[in-house]
């Protein structure tokens, strides 16, 4: 039986267009999906848009549009952007999709029937930006801490999910499964929320239609719509086929969530208790990353520092931007984007290090071996060393990808690039080629370089797919990724076969100037 893997991104609100933050999460998910497909696992990659609630209704009204027309437009921009940059999702879910609405109503009915939802009057301070009532801790000087705007006082009769009755169970589960939420700092944050209360109470899950109609109707009271977070989280089930697609169970049993720290509470507290109440198993892991700041400032529309993925593609090529995002953020910690740092990365790692290895290997293969992968003339300790480095890189990439450390996986691949460049420097085939008697050594060196490049390209496949394909094509191995099985194929170090025709090509990554 093949192994399964399912990865999700948050479904993004359609009140902003895709920026560096959404792009990072989506690119990490795409890289993981590509990696697990290459590892031979049956993989399902889910992304989409979150379209209900006050915040979206407000944004639509500002644009003078009906909510559905507005969400169609922005959701389309997200989907088109992901298509343009080659995000390999399997399902793009919208919370306005009929199957999502049915999944939400099915789950609500189930939780209601078993007595975990009741009706109460509530009064409090509500932030439209957060889509929830605030507690004292959520406010600074009377303003919402996150949105820096004054909350509104609201009094309503509403339905509540009796979340608190599951808190002891959740605490015990987090003790028993220490990496359920990872990295550890975020697990500790959730444990602290449970310990300190952090304003955590039973969850108000309805909005009266008298105030908000833009939402999913409660199946047990037609005067109310569902609170947007309760609705949104269920996308993960709906997108995988809940309630009745036969594929649902295996996908859900392999589910990995990817989110940033801003939405830790709904994913670390609301969601597991909802699943428990609905009698469903938990996700495999909640993988939480930090925040991208731009020029050391928070991203915001008013600062105009959102960084559009399409603009980055236009200027640097998408693989270069993708590489930077994956390499420069230590998964779990915050990172800072500056165009200088991007340019430095492109020049140091892609143009100089990788690009140089590709160009010198293929140029010398053209010059000394008629453009064909040469037959080696034996192999010594130095060749063994490069082969060992390749085996080690493939092993390390597998370990880091399964631990959600894409930056470390890339560092491991570049350790192999470095080792191969050092090997070429030490063997100096351009010098050896001056002596006819040493041509066997030249052939061995270039054969080893072609094999190392082949392994490097396979390992880079999930991270920089177009670049990997291009290197493989130049090595005469077009399409090798389609039949590769990571980590084994990259560790095997047995292709391309001698006699394969190679092609020099242009510089893979031309050096770029700082802006
Ligand atoms: N709609 C909710 C999520 C519902 S999931 C059931 C939402 N949407 S959002 O559009 O605000 O997206 C938040 C997510 O976008 C973050 O968790 C993260 O994945 C990504 N990012 C947005 N800004 C970010 C940064 N500045 N840095 C890194 N990622 C961030 O919350």
Residue 402, both tokens: 């399964």
Which ligand 1 atom sits closest to the C-alpha of 236? 6
The predicted-structure confidence for 361-404, as pLDDT tens digits, reads as follows: 999 999 999 999 999 998 899 999 999 999 999 999 999 999 99
**Residue with CA at minimum distance from ligand 1 atom 17:** 260
pLDDT tens column, 3-45: 999 999 999 999 889 999 999 999 999 999 999 999 999 999 9
Query: To test ligand 1's pocket by mutation, which of 8, 9, 10, 104 has the most ligand atoms within 8 angstroms of CB?
Result: 10
Answer for the pair 129, 144: CB distance below 8 angstroms, yes or no. Answer: yes
Model pLDDT for residues 430-481, shown as the tens digit of each residue: 999 999 999 999 999 999 999 999 999 999 999 999 999 999 999 999 999 9
Q: Which atom of ligand 1 is nearest to the CA of 9?
A: 19
Structural domain boundaries in the chain: 4-289, 339-492
**Omega cis (within 30) before 243:** yes
Average pLDDT, the chain: 96
Higher pLDDT: 263 or 136? It is 263
Asked whether residue 498 carries a pLDDT value surpassing 70, the answer given is yes
Cα(129) to ligand 1 centroid in Å equals: 13
Question: Which residues are catalytic, by number?
Answer: 19, 22, 127, 130, 144, 147, 298, 301
Q: Is the pLDDT of residue 130 over 90?
A: no
Question: 104: which strand partners?
Answer: none
Residue 92 C-beta-side C-alpha neighbours within 13 Å: 18
257: enclosing H helix or E strand: strand 255-260
The string over 174-199, giving b where at least 16 C-beta atoms fall within 10 Å of a residue's C-beta and e elsewhere, is: beeeeebbbbeebbebbbebbeeebe
Query: Which residues does ligand 1 sit against, CB inside 6 Å?
Result: 10-13, 21-22, 24-25, 50, 232-233, 235, 259-260, 262-263, 291-292, 299
Please give the CATH superfamily to which domain 339-492 belongs: Isoleucyl-tRNA Synthetase; Domain 1 (1.10.730.10)
On the CB side of 377, how many CA atoms lie within 13 Å of its CA? 9
4-289 in CATH: which number?
Answer: 3.40.50.620
Q: Are 336 and 357 in contact (CB under 8 A)?
A: no
DSSP helix/strand/coil, 182: strand
d(CA 34, CA 88) in angstroms, rounded, equals 8
Could you tell me the distance, in angstroms and rounded to a whole number, from the CA of residue 291 to the centre of ligand 1?
A: 9
- Asked whether the beta carbons of 46 and 90 are under 8 A apart, the reply is yes
CB contact at 8 A, 326 and 464: no
Calpha distance 420→132 (Å, rounded): 55
Q: Which residues contact 424 (CB under 8 A, 6 or more apart)?
A: 357, 360, 361, 445, 449
Q: Which of 22, 48, 329, 335, when mutated, tests ligand 1's pocket best, judged by the most ligand atoms within 8 Å of its CB?
A: 22
Distance (angstroms) between ligand 1 centre and the Cα of 258 equals: 10
């Amino acid at each position: 039986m093949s192994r399964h893997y399912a990865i999700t991104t948050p479904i993004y609100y359609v009140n902003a267009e895709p920026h560096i933050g959404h792009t990072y999460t989506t690119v990490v998910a795409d890289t993981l999906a590509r990696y697990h497909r290459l590892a031979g696992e049956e993989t399902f990659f889910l992304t989409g848009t979150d379209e209900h609630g006050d915040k979206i209704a407000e944004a639509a009204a500002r644009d003078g549009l009906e909510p559905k027309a507005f969400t169609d437009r922005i959701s389309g921009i997200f989907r088109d952007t992901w298509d343009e940059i080659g995000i390999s999702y399997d399902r793009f879910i919208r919370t306005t999709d009929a199957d999502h609405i049915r999944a939400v109503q099915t789950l609500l009915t189930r939780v209601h029937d078993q007595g975990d939802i009741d009706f109460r009057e509530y009064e409090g301070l509500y932030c439209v930006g957060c889509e929830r009532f605030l507690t004292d801790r959520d406010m600074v000087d009377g303003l919402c801490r996150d949105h820096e705007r004054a909350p509104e006082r609201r009094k309503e009769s509403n339905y509540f999910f009796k979340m608190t009755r599951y808190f002891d169970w959740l605490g015990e589960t987090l003790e028993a499964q220490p990496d359920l939420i990872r990295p550890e700092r975020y697990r500790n944050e959730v444990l602290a929320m449970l310990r300190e209360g952090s304003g955590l109470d039973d969850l108000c899950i309805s909005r009266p239609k008298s105030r908000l109609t833009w939402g999913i109707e409660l199946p047990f009271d037609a005067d109310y719509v569902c609170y947007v977070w309760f609705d949104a989280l269920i996308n993960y089930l709906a997108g995988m086929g809940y309630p009745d697609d036969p594929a649902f169970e295996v996908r859900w049993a392999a589910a990995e969530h990817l989110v940033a720290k801003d939405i830790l509470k709904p994913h670390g507290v609301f969601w597991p208790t909802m699943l428990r109440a609905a009698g469903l198993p938990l996700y495999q892991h909640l993988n939480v990353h930090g925040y991208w700041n731009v020029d050391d400032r928070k991203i915001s529309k008013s600062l105009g520092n959102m960084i559009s993925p399409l603009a980055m593609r236009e200027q640097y090529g998408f693989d270069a931007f993708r590489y930077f995002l994956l390499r420069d953020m230590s998964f779990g910690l915050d990172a800072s984007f500056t165009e200088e740092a991007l340019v430095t990365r492109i020049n140091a790692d892609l143009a100089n290090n990788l690009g140089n290895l590709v160009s010198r290997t293929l140029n010398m293969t053209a010059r000394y071996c008629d453009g064909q992968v040469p037959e080696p003339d034996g192999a010594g300790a130095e060749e063994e060393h490069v082969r060992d480095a390749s085996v080690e890189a493939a092993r390390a990439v597998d370990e880091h990808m399964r631990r959600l450390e894409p930056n470390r996986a890339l560092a491991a691949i570049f350790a192999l690039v470095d080792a191969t460049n050092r090997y070429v420097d030490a063997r100096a085939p351009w010098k050896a080629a001056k002596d006819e008697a040493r041509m066997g050594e030249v052939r061995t060196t270039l054969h080893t370089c072609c094999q190392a490049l082949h392994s490097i390209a396979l390992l880079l496949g999930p991270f920089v797919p177009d670049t990997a394909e291009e290197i493989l094509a130049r090595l005469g191995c077009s399409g090798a990724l389609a039949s590769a099985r990571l980590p084994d194929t990259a560790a095997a170090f047995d292709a391309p076969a001698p006699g394969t025709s190679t092609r020099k090509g242009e510089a893979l990554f031309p050096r770029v100037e700082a802006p």
